Chains A and B, each alone.
Chain A
């Protein structure tokens, strides 16, 4: 079984190794993009709520879930990544004030910092 696994995975080693290193290096980038997505998503929720296009329960639950996710991200980042911690703190503050414009601005700033997920248009 081990021999079979070794034979199967051997050709992948040169390809996997740089990828695994890249994964470790890019962890901050991934988290930054997650913060950006949460900021953009909640900005849209607040905009639609202001136009009475989504109800209060939906908007409140989406906000609470976003705050929970941001707290989890903050904790998992530990002492590393000052820029990430700052971005999370700013996003949580904007969420608490239901400030759609501030959230959009954060999302835009993080887009410039972290780049697109997927191909650039």
Chain B
């Protein structure tokens, strides 16, 4: 019974922790601009994160190796360093975007000044990470993030043409796009893949597995959490897209900020819906801010061989503690420069897809290596899916920057 509760909690945490500010922004914008035509991109990328998430959890449980240990072993010091530096930069930019997002949502709830709220949010997050054990951090934000299910309720309450929405699951380029808009559509496909497959997610997930001392007996939970939890989490993002297609597209609203996405809930459910949506967004974004910040500290500590882990007291892993405190400080400094959170989201999305191939290569190599994995080595399906997605990611990484430049960040 205890095991069942543990698995259910793990799945619910994965659902609540799936959406962050980049998915919020890109899901709502995709629906508003292209109707249902990008649902397939979310579904496709979700299969990718399931494959890589499951693999990273399995490697952590069996080989007891988090991603950055593997990177140094498999890629060597130079190439490993070439991955570490951009990965940390992307994590910090993403963390800054999340902190900015938190401040924006809190501003909608309190009316207080944005920069003051950014400072208060960062201080609160740092205090929470300092005081709470890993499992509590993961569970509290994951479970409170389930308030985002309000957006699924919105999709059920408004009149969605479900047959047309279901057709969005088929990969397509919508009819009627001009030659200028086709690169924009391609940019959105790449951005969605990047937002769903953000590298911090596997750094955090695999480090978390080691924090919680996973072993072979946890492999079933790993599989259920990644398959069921991530799929249901993806449903949240798809609901945001569907709601935007139905509610915003006819009004020509192109949502740029979390506040506009929250409007989706106010239309059918009034103020209660609005508040539930805002609190859901706040907890989901806060959880992502903590994950990105800890991911930076995990990456650096694992690569440099420092003591790391939230299961240790701060003074038992001083350099790791300093690393996550510094990550929060730098992210806050970026927010206080006044760069809009949306711009930070775009940078994070573009640069993370460039880092992704280097992140996943050592994982794929170890997961198929019987020396490390024994009988838990990749099966044929995992290998085919893993390498298939890896090829797609490499193509997306090459296309990301040119598409960003040509489309002015998808604005054309």
Which secondary structure dominates chain B's binding surface?
helix
> Given A54-B266, A107-B252 in contact, is the A119-B175 Cβ separation under 8 Å?
yes
Contact: B257 with A119, CB < 8 Å? no
Which residues of chain B come closer than 8 Å to A50, judged between CB atoms?
Answer: none
> Is the C-beta of B271 less than 8 angstroms from some C-beta in chain A?
yes
Contact: A44 with B263, CB < 8 Å? yes
Residue of B whose beta carbon sits closest to that of A24 = B408
A44 to B108, CA, bound (A): 16
Interface extent on A, as a size class? 35 or more
Contact: A54 with B274, CB < 8 Å? yes
> Is the C-beta of B398 less than 8 angstroms from some C-beta in chain A?
yes
> Is the C-beta of B69 less than 8 angstroms from some C-beta in chain A?
no
Contact with A along B387-402 (1 / 0, CB 8 A): 0000000000010001
Contact: B252 with A36, CB < 8 Å? yes
Q: In angstroms, how far is the closest chain A Cβ from the Cβ of B90?
A: 20
Contact: A22 with B34, CB < 8 Å? no
Which residues of chain A come closer than 8 Å to B274, judged between CB atoms?
Answer: 53-55, 58
Contact: B257 with A52, CB < 8 Å? no
Contact: A16 with B252, CB < 8 Å? no
A120 to B181, CA, bound (A): 11
Contact: B180 with A26, CB < 8 Å? yes
Q: How many residues in B have their beta carbons less than 8 Å from beta carbons of A?
A: 45
Query: Using a CB-CB cutoff of 8 Å, which residues 67-101 of chain A contact chain B?
Result: 69
Count of chain A to chain B residue pairs whose CB atoms are closer than 8 Å in the complex: 122
Which residues of chain A come closer than 8 Å to B260, judged between CB atoms?
Answer: 41, 62
Which residues of chain B come closer than 8 Å to A52, judged between CB atoms?
Answer: 270-271
> Is the C-beta of B368 less than 8 angstroms from some C-beta in chain A?
no
Partner of B251 from the list A44, A55, A62 (CB cut-off 8 Å) is A44
Partner of A57 from the list B32, B110, B181 (CB cut-off 8 Å) is B110
Q: Can you list 22 A-B contacts (CB < 8 A)?
A: A9-B402, A26-B412, A29-B412, A37-B254, A40-B251, A41-B260, A53-B267, A53-B270, A53-B274, A54-B270, A57-B111, A58-B108, A58-B259, A58-B274, A61-B107, A69-B256, A111-B252, A117-B254, A118-B33, A118-B174, A118-B249, A119-B34
Which residues in A have some Cβ–Cβ distance to B below 8 Å? 8-9, 12, 15-16, 19-20, 22-23, 26-27, 29-30, 33-34, 36-37, 40-41, 43-45, 48, 51-55, 57-58, 60-62, 65, 69, 107, 111, 116-121
Apart from A57-B111, A58-B278, A107-B252, 13 more pairs, CB < 8 Å: A9-B402, A22-B406, A23-B405, A30-B411, A37-B253, A48-B263, A48-B267, A52-B271, A53-B270, A57-B108, A57-B110, A111-B252, A116-B252
- Would you list the 5 A-B pairs with minimal beta carbon distance, nearest first? A19-B406, A119-B176, A118-B33, A53-B270, A37-B254
